[in-house]
Amino acid sequence: MVNNNLRNMHNDQDASNIKANESPIKWCSVSLSDVISRGKRLEASVFDVEAKQARQIINNSKFPLTMIGGENGLTSSYTCARFKRVWVEHSDLPIYQPSTIVDIKPIPDGYISHLTQTNIDALRVSKGQILMTCSGTIGKVSYVTDTLDNKVFSHDLLRIECRNSVDQGYIYTYLKSRIGNKILLTNSYGAVITHIESEHLATVPIPNAPKEIKIGIHNLIVDSYKMRDESNDLIDQATALLISELKLPAINEFEQKNIENSSSVNAFNVKLSDLNYRADASYHLPIVDAIIEHLKEHAAEITTIGDSRISSDVVLPGRFKRVYVESDYGVKFLGGKEMKQLDPSSEKYLSRKAHSKQLEGSLGIKENSILTPARGSLGEVIMPPKHFLNWAISDNMMQILSNDTICGYVYIFLNSEYGKALIQRFTYGGVVDAIEPWHIQQVQIPLLKNKQVQAQINNLAKLANEKRYEAYLLEQEALKIMDEEIIYAK
């Protein structure tokens, strides 16, 4: 198959200057029995060519093969029983969704009551486990260290335990590799698996490399996750300093005035002079006013993101026709779902040539910026680490262009529950929640009375980002060893 975008990209080049790849065509052999079992279909789309090639590569490995799961495999695994959640506004039992395992710093989906009829302790994950999403978006993996240890996750998450601790980082890296993940997601005939069960791991082959190679890869993954834990600790330290300096109570403890207690529903009064041309109740929530009043009392000054001291601009890329290419010819295209991941899982790449001007402008991720969705899950923010720079953001994401002296501080405030509430008040839209750059420019930001503490918060956030970049490099080194010394080794 020829990539149309790639073909069009080279239309204006001299054909003599175009170099073809050694293997430009994806192919595989298919047995007659396999064709018959698929309803005598001959379309290539029925058979996962890459999966069959991946298995052939592993079968030709220089090391003997074993299985990840099964009675004689390297691991045992399990999922938990389904249960009905009893949701509450707040408790000491936050519960996390499987999709959050790939986030750098996962946040809970909500809180469940102790009255929930299930074995809560069985839902907790523990250090050294490999976690895998097994329904929905399947095959995403994470490794449990301090950040996730003892957290409660829902039932539909595969918990993998290695029989030998040195295999933990090794198997994690294999499952993250392109070849290992492709094999995981398909059966031996190349058909895509829609749900992963424990027994599927008994059919996933893995080269059984020498112990010294396994130790090297395992240590790289352990160090990578240690850096992530340290970065999360730094974020927590910075947030604690902010809360202490501004004397902020828990967000649910703010005194909310003007609420009609006599009504069967939450109701409150708004002055005509305070409407600001917004008639939607969410814009006028009393808790937002309570937060702002508190900040005015305890901050040196309340300004907005639009202040030139805070940002030079808030950029939302316009709608555009996307030219997708193979990874070698493009830059990673980042959406709101992937922005909180250390190694974003997006497999979309924008053409460097077709989008060169846009990448220099509104699409390219810039240093000292803060990213936030413009559609969908509003209020989430991230300060992109170094390896995000020059990747592209989608037209559903905004970029706050800040500066070195305050970007970390602004991120810490916006990343807090209080900052999130101030962003979300500007939400509009019916079916899909939306927010615009001029709304973000109006979001209030408190400047601290103690400038040294403000600078300390800024520096802690920047140091956390540096550790996240180091964590990314360590994991990439492990993946490189997996490819060069194990999967493709002759």
CB 214 within 8 A of CB 71: no
Fold of 65-208: Adenine-n6-DNA-methyltransferase TaqI; Chain A, domain 2 (3.90.220)
127: nearest Cα among 143, 106, 140, 105: 143
What are the tokens at 139?
């095959």
Q: DSSP alpha helices (H): ranges in 165-250? A: 167-176, 178-184, 211-246
State residue 18's pLDDT score.
40
Phi, psi of 378 (to 5 degrees): -75, 150
Q: What is the pLDDT of residue 4?
A: 47
Which candidate, 180, 178, 171, places its Cα nearest to that of 213? 171
CATH of domain 235-465: 3.90.220.20
Secondary structure class of 124 (helix, strand, coil): strand
Q: Which residue has the tokens 């600001």?
A: 276
* Helix or strand holding residue 349 (H, E): strand 349-351
Measured CA to CA, the distance from residue 35 to residue 28 in angstroms comes to 13
What pLDDT shows up at residue 254?
A: 79
Domain ranges of the chain: 65-208, 235-465
Residue 476 host element (H or E): helix 451-481
Question: 130-161 burial, b if ≥16 CB within 10 A, otherwise e?
Answer: bbbbbeeebbbbbbbbebbeebbbbebbbbbe
Q: How far apart are CA 275 and CA 283, in angstroms?
A: 9
Q: Residue-wise pLDDT tens for the chain (490 aa)?
A: 344 444 444 444 443 444 434 445 666 677 788 778 767 877 665 667 788 888 889 999 999 999 999 999 999 999 998 889 999 988 889 999 999 999 999 999 999 999 999 999 999 999 999 999 998 888 999 999 999 999 999 998 999 999 999 999 999 999 999 999 999 988 665 667 778 889 999 989 999 999 999 999 999 999 999 999 999 999 999 999 999 999 999 888 876 665 665 556 667 777 777 777 787 877 878 889 899 999 999 999 999 999 999 999 999 998 888 888 888 888 898 888 889 999 987 788 888 888 888 888 889 999 999 999 999 889 999 999 999 998 999 889 999 999 999 999 999 999 999 999 999 999 998 778 899 999 999 999 999 999 999 999 999 999 999 999 999 999 999 999 999 999 998 8
DSSP 376-418: SSTT--B---GGGTT-EE-TTEEEEE--TTTHHHHHHHHHSHH
Helices (H) and strands (E) in the chain — how many of each? 13, 18
**What gap in Å lies between CA 47 and CA 34, rounded to an integer?**
9
**Distance between CA 448 and CA 248 in Å, rounded?**
13
Q: What are phi and psi of 373, to 5 degrees?
A: -65, 145
Q: Which of 179, 173, 175, 178 is nearest to 201 (CA)?
A: 175
Tell me which DSSP letter residue 75 carries. Answer: E
pLDDT at 256: 65
Q: Same fold for the domain at 65-208 and the one at 235-465?
A: yes
The beta strands (E) that lie in 264-308 are given as 301-304
Nearest 5 degrees, angle CA 233-CA 239-CA 242?
Answer: 145
Give burial (CB, 10 Å; 0-12/13-18/19+) of 178.
middle
End-to-end CA gap in the chain:
28
Q: Helix 407-415 and helix 417-424: axis angle, to 10°?
A: 80
**Per-residue burial over 198-224, b = 16 or more CB atoms within 10 Å of its CB, e = otherwise:** bebbbbbbbbbbeeebbebbbebbbbb
- Burial (CB count <10 Å: 0-12, 13-18, 19+), residue 473: middle
- For 399, phi then psi, to 5°, come to -125, 120
Backbone angles phi, psi at 252, to 5 degrees: -80, 0
